[in-house]
Chain A
């Protein structure tokens, strides 16, 4: 594990060297949060109520802030892997003394955490200005743990999409569709609490909710029982997806033909 830790810390250092770029990129969350504020303020006003499906306007906005942070901080791992497959550079990575998937996981985690810091900062400032202080800080360590596990599930999906380049070459369509799954069924654009009950039950059983909705909902209403349920679901999905991506990687490698170079 030592070498993967070294890869991770190197990537952290690399990314933090361009802190200005990260700060500029985090401006996106300000725009999104501001638009969400206009939409949800008008909605709560139209409903003439302080609470919709158990969420106040303040909770909804902080929920969306965390959901946006998770989405906007995600590195494009599927693109990196599929490009390596398409241009053949994967051949140079496979003979290095590390596991290809763990290498990308370490690099991706470095990218995710650095972007997350800046998105969280920008997002929190704008959310605080718009709707007031954040939820109970005692829940934050649990949220961070849930975000990391959620990211690992996401990594399995994105690596799987990247590896699909071995079969289909072009993976953009899979990337878009997966992203929209996270947007809708993951609860990034709208909390699952606002879904009709039948759709909410389906969405909550799927892995996308464990990536976005679970951590974001825990953030606005932290409690140990909610965390335990979330953790159990995340571990199950991580185990299943980890197995699938490992098998897919082994299969993909058997298809690879390297002609010198």
Chain B
């Protein structure tokens, strides 16, 4: 475990140095993403300026929800950027490189790419948390913890849907649709959805665990809320690892010679 953590930190350090090599591009992506998120959030500012509340949600609740989702998504794509490209790696035989090395294939694969714009999401997420008005140290600690849960569930979901490529071949389209659905549902108030829709958001597309549940945990600490997040993270992560390695048994490639840069 310690060995893998040292390895992981080494990969992240190399990723960061590599991203910083093109400093102007790196800064423009980070700053651009902060601006992008802020502009997207203007929708809710305008909405609540007109309507004040919807299904019990008000603007500070949206700041908190958006903060958690942005920080969780951003942290995930910064640290495990290849989660978005996993199905492509499977379909085009790019796993060969990772299979030949003495490191856990999934962990290595996920961590070898960083998304500079993800850091912009993280920064915006933290700013959004502060704008929500939860200005206490323990709320901030819960925000950090909630972000980690949100990231774990989001990345696990990505691994699950992208692993379909082991069975379906090129499944990028399906993966993209599932990812878009996850992000879209996560940034809307959970109270808007009732009945079977709500059930789907807790199971098939677990957007509630990426947004609303961690946001609620940040707002008010309950052991029940923490148990839900721990349970969902363990289940999703275990399922993702199981499905990936199950699929890996079916992996075939044309022994393409590749150089990892």
Contacts and interface: CB of A to CB of B under 8 A. Distances in A.
Contacts of A32: 184
Contacts of B22: 170
Contacts of B43: 183-184, 189-190
A25 B28 contact: no
Contacts of A189: 43
Given A180-B39, A194-B46, A172 B29 contact: yes
B53 interface: yes
Interface stretch (B30-38, B160-168, B214-222, B243-251): B30-38
Contact of B40 (A38, A46, A172, A180): A180
Interface in B32-84: 32-33, 35-36, 39-40, 42-43, 46-47, 49-51, 53-55
Interface in B77-118: 117
Interface-central residue, A25, A46, A170, A183, by most chain B CB under 10 Å: A170
Contacts of B181: 31
Contacts of B25: 169-170
A66 B186 CA distance: 23
A180 B180 contact: no
A184 B32 contact: no
A42 interface: yes
B141 interface: no
Size category of the binding interface on chain A:
20 to 34
Main secondary structure, interface of B, reads: helix
Interface in A175-222: 176-177, 179-181, 183-184, 189-190, 194-196, 199
Contacts of A179: 36
A173 B177 contact: no
A21 interface: yes
A168 interface: yes
Given A183-B39, A183-B40, A184-B46, A173 B33 contact: yes
Interface in A147-168: 168
A21 B177 CA distance: 12
B29 A47 contact: no
A151 B223 CA distance: 52
B173 interface: yes
Nearest to A169: B25
A45 B36 CA distance: 31
Nearest to A175: B32
Contacts of B49: 196
A184 B173 contact: no
A258 interface: no
Contacts of B117: 172
Contacts of B35: 173, 176-177
Contact of A176 (B32, B42, B54, B188): B32
A43 B51 contact: yes
B193 A170 contact: no
Given A39-B54, A190-B43, A177 B36 contact: yes
A27 interface: yes
B192 interface: yes
Given A177-B36, A184-B42, 10 more contacts: A25-B173, A31-B177, A35-B185, A38-B192, A46-B55, A168-B24, A172-B32, A173-B36, A176-B33, A190-B46
Interface of A: 21, 24-25, 27-28, 31-32, 35, 38-39, 42-43, 46-47, 168-170, 172-174, 176-177, 179-181, 183-184, 189-190, 194-196, 199
26 contacts: A21-B173, A31-B177, A31-B184, A35-B184, A38-B192, A42-B55, A46-B51, A46-B55, A47-B51, A168-B24, A172-B32, A172-B117, A173-B29, A173-B35, A173-B36, A176-B32, A176-B36, A179-B36, A180-B39, A183-B39, A183-B43, A184-B40, A184-B46, A190-B46, A190-B47, A196-B46
